[in-house]
Amino acid sequence: MAQKKFLILRFSSFGDVTQCLSVPSKIAEYEPQAVIHWAVRQDLSSLLQNHPHIQKTWALPRKSGLREIWHLAQELKKENFTHIYDAHNSTRSLIISFLLKISNGKVQLLRKSQKRWKRFLLFKLRKNTYRMPFNGQRDLLEPLQKWGMSETAPPPPQLFITSNELESVRKFIPPQPYITLAPSAAYALKRWPLEYWKKLVELSSTESFVILGGPEDQFVEEIRSVDPNRIFNLAGKTNLRETSAVVKLSKLLITNDTGILHTAEQQGHPAIALMGPAPFGFPSRPSTLILERQLSCRPCSKHGQGPCINSNFHECLRSIEPSEVYQHLQEKLK
């Protein structure tokens, strides 16, 4: 029997690619001899490093046009894939999968549905027909059932940080045990209020903290100002793998609904997730405690871009008090 050769198409985003790292392991669980390749956006390709079930990574520049997409498709044609899983269902992945399909009509093509009708019902008519609870990783694995595979997530780790990488980030972090904070998110409505983060570190007066985020997250310096001696700001100072290593070396991660949450999940690391207006990035593993409020207005938008439709503005996150998070933090640390 000819060897099966799989191509995974998932180009972005940070959180989605990290959750999708379970897919090659699931394929390998059912097809141990399979060869697995992955096409991903270049700036996120480091997340795939050291994965034992990914034999080759194909990187597409972030601002790629039709020429780059066409060139990548021509290179992928030479690989003669037997199976393609379009886990993105974007313009880029649709073009590439179409070109590969017409060049080899025998290739088995599987595509993750965008469930546009369900989205319309949810966000326009406030009628939720989604399978509950929301679970981002399950949604990525669910289509594989058509190939006879289960939707159950493989155990962590699925993000593979080496001991050398862990050692190299120690120069960034405090010598004492610390808690990692991820106070940012792509959209403001997905962010737990800044004053709540400040209050939380005030309540946790005996703990040290490391703040993670992007170079644009200058606002987190205000959290550090609460006590610069025990709060370290690494926002914008670490790459994706260094960020993942900092999370792994911490006692626990407290995070908004953002990509850093899934680096903890895919390493089996304990986390507290503050989940607000968006539905599709929900954590999947028991290592993560989900804090949320069941409100009739949730979820209000696909990515949390808003607008907030609650008369009590931002109630989904503002109603989660720092004292509540502090209590759960203490329980987790025990």
DSSP string spanning 61-107?
A: -TT--HHHHHHHHHHHHTT--SEEEESS-SHHHHHHHHHHHHH-TTS
Q: Which residues of 107-122 are buried (b: 16+ CB within 10 A; e: fewer)?
A: beebbbeebeeeeeeb
Q: Which residues of the chain have pLDDT under 70?
A: 1
Task: Please report the pLDDT score of residue 2 as a whole number.
Answer: 75
Q: Which amino acid is at 266?
A: Q
Nearest in space to 291 (alpha carbons), one of 235, 334, 263, 253: 253
What is the three-class DSSP state of 215? coil
* Residue-range domains of the chain with CATH: 5-147 (3.40.50.2000), 167-333 (3.40.50.2000)
CB atoms within 10 A of CB 324: 13
Report pLDDT for 1.
61
Report CA torsion sign: 19, 114, 43, 304.
negative
Report the C-alpha gap between 145 and 96 in whole angstroms. Answer: 23
85-120: pLDDT as tens digits: 999 999 999 999 999 999 999 999 999 999 999 999
